[in-house]
Amino acid sequence: MKIVPSLTDISQLTSSWKKQGQTISLVPTMGCLHEGHLSLMRKAKDMGGKVIVSIFVNPLQFGPNEDLASYPRQFVIDCELAENEGVDAVFCPENKYMYGDSFQTAVTVSKLSQGMCGKDRPGHFDGVSTVVAKLFNLTRADSAVFGQKDFQQLAVIRQLVKDLNFPIQIIGSPIVREDDGLAMSSRNKYLHGDSRQQALCLYSSIIAARELVTESRDKILAQTVIEQTKEIIARAGAALEYAVLKDESTLLDDVVVSSDSILVLAAKIDGTVRLIDNGRLFPD
């Protein structure tokens, strides 16, 4: 496995692969890899061709009061995990090369970036869109695999690819959970003791919503699901940032629960650790 910190070197490497007729799959990450990330690598590997994992803690997607400085980092371990999954290259650029002193361009997906995480984290999705566009250009990837836990991010990236005509296939991969249901996240490393137990309220809310709609013989209003979710999060002592019911096909707010309804959540655990989760209310 190659470790590539240079923008020039990753471009030369992918150009050589293309000349050999290879396809390239990209798995963008910010490191601190866990089983969720590894599942993305396996999906990319199953597609054949070369697999690149990017490890870059992107400063553009962090707000002034967020955890950029303390975001968990474990580069040596990450490289070992990626190599064990058969990854061909880890692209690990330094910030000073990704965004030089004269950098002044931003990519904005104006509508889908509003609300949900976009409301609580102004500018976050501009940072995501900008770095993803750079990664697509640098790696010349034919496909990119993203986790479905980041529901809004996946929608934004798909819109970006559509609007800017990137010749790349975007693949969403299912959420990977701990045995107790907690969605895997790099920020789970912040959780200990009571806060780890408190974090289960997100998944508990999704399970309770599924039970509510499957046990009812009548149509359920989205607001009924949201109010129940608020109660569960409050009882656990977490601070709910948002709970919305979205139509998975249109991404519009649901009024009445349907077979395409997905509950999307964000909450702060122990007052500091921000976690997100989502789940379809009628899972397959």
Answer yes or no: is 180 within a domain: no
- Residues 161-193: tens digit of each pLDDT: 999 999 999 999 999 999 999 999 999 999 999
CATH of the domain at 38: 3.40.50.620
- Residues 66-123: tens digit of each pLDDT: 899 989 999 999 999 999 999 999 999 999 999 999 999 999 999 999 999 999 899 9
Angle value at C-alpha 264, between 283 and 124, nearest 5 degrees: 135
The answer to whether residues 24 and 128 belong to one domain is yes
The answer to whether residues 160 and 215 belong to one domain is no
- Residues 212-264: tens digit of each pLDDT: 999 887 899 999 999 999 999 999 999 999 999 999 888 899 999 999 999 99
The answer to whether residues 40 and 136 belong to one domain is yes
Answer yes or no: is 36 within a domain: yes
The answer to whether residues 15 and 142 belong to one domain is yes
| Contacts of 195 by beta carbon, 8 Å cutoff, 6+ apart | 269, 270, 273
The answer to whether residues 199 and 270 belong to one domain is yes
The answer to whether residues 118 and 147 belong to one domain is yes
Answer yes or no: is 22 within a domain: yes
Which two structure tokens, joined as six digits, stand for 249? 């096909």
Global pTM reads 0.94
Helices (H) and strands (E) in the chain, counts: 10, 9
Q: Which of 173, 205, 236 is the last residue of a domain?
A: 173
Answer yes or no: is 179 within a domain: no
Q: Which helix (H) or strand (E) holds 19?
A: helix 7-19
CATH of the domain at 255: 3.30.1300.10
The answer to whether residues 167 and 260 belong to one domain is no
Answer yes or no: is 125 within a domain: yes
Q: What letter does residue 252 receive in the DSSP assignment?
A: P
Answer yes or no: is 133 within a domain: yes
The answer to whether residues 111 and 232 belong to one domain is no
The answer to whether residues 166 and 192 belong to one domain is no
Answer yes or no: is 70 within a domain: yes
The answer to whether residues 160 and 196 belong to one domain is no
Reported as a pLDDT band with limits 50, 70 and 90, residue 283 is confident
The pLDDT score that the predictor gives to residue 3 is: 98
Nearest to 31 by CA among 6, 3, 9: 3
- Taking the C-alpha atoms of 56, 60, 61 and 66 in order, what is their torsion angle to the nearest 10 degrees? 100
The answer to whether residues 97 and 158 belong to one domain is yes
> Into how many domains does the chain fold?
2
Rounded Cα distance, 87 and 66, in Å: 31
Give me the domain span that covers residue 28. Answer: 2-173
Rounded Cα distance, 114 and 33, in Å: 28
The answer to whether residues 68 and 133 belong to one domain is yes
- Specify the 3-state DSSP secondary structure of 262: strand
Q: Which residues are catalytic?
A: 37
The distance from CA 20 to its chain's CA centroid, rounded to whole angstroms, is 31
Answer yes or no: is 52 within a domain: yes
